Amino acid sequence: MTEIMQRYDAAMELHEAGNTDEAIVQLEAIVKDDPNFALAHNALGVFYGRKEDFDRALEHASRVCELEPNDAFSFVAQSIAAIGAGQSAVAEEARAKAQEIQWAEIRKQFEEAEQAKEIADAATDATDAPNTQNAE
């Protein structure tokens, strides 16, 4: 386990023990050292939201969206933080992006299922075909 992950786990333990304020301090130190550590930004977004510091929650939720642009949940979290911060346009844009990502994933899964069905049908057709080599 990396040192940064160990620090993150320690911050989560602080939160679970009821010391969210100290967890926030530790997580802020983590993102200062590694601004691309999405897990810490995500936790900060959640913790600041619970403390009703929605501007900070939105700052960290938005950073997660930059770091994880294909994760629908990140955009849902950003939308929730934006609602709390009174930024309805940002909230709506994030909600729309989350929905776009979810629909793209559904389309991808559907296309993969269709391809798998075509392969299975072709295999079935091949095994059901009469054996012409032994027919002589």
Q: Which domain holds residue 111?
A: 3-126
Number of compact structural domains in the chain: 1
* Residues in Cβ contact with 66 at an 8 Å cutoff, skipping those fewer than 6 apart: none
Question: 100 lies in a domain?
Answer: yes
Residue 133 belongs to some domain of the structure: no
The number of beta carbons lying within 10 Å of the beta carbon of residue 134 is 6
**pLDDT of 72-103, one tens digit each?**
999 999 999 999 999 999 999 999 999 999 99
pLDDT the model gives residue 130? 66
136 has pLDDT over 80: no
- Over residues 13-40, the mean pLDDT reads 98
**In-domain check, residue 41:** yes
Stretch 103-107: mean pLDDT, rounded? 93
Is 67 domain-assigned? yes
Q: What is the pLDDT of residue 22?
A: 98
In a domain, 131, yes or no: no
- 17 pLDDT higher than 90: yes
What is the C-alpha separation between 36 and 81, in angstroms, rounded?
20
Does 25 map to a domain? yes
Q: How high does pLDDT run on average in the chain?
A: 93
The CATH number of the domain where 119 resides is what?
Answer: 1.25.40.10
| Average pLDDT estimate for 14-24 | 98
Query: Strand, coil or helix: what is 136?
Result: coil
Dump pLDDT digits (tens) for 113-134.
Answer: 999 898 888 888 877 766 555 5
Percent of the chain with pLDDT over 70: 94
What pLDDT does 132 receive?
A: 53
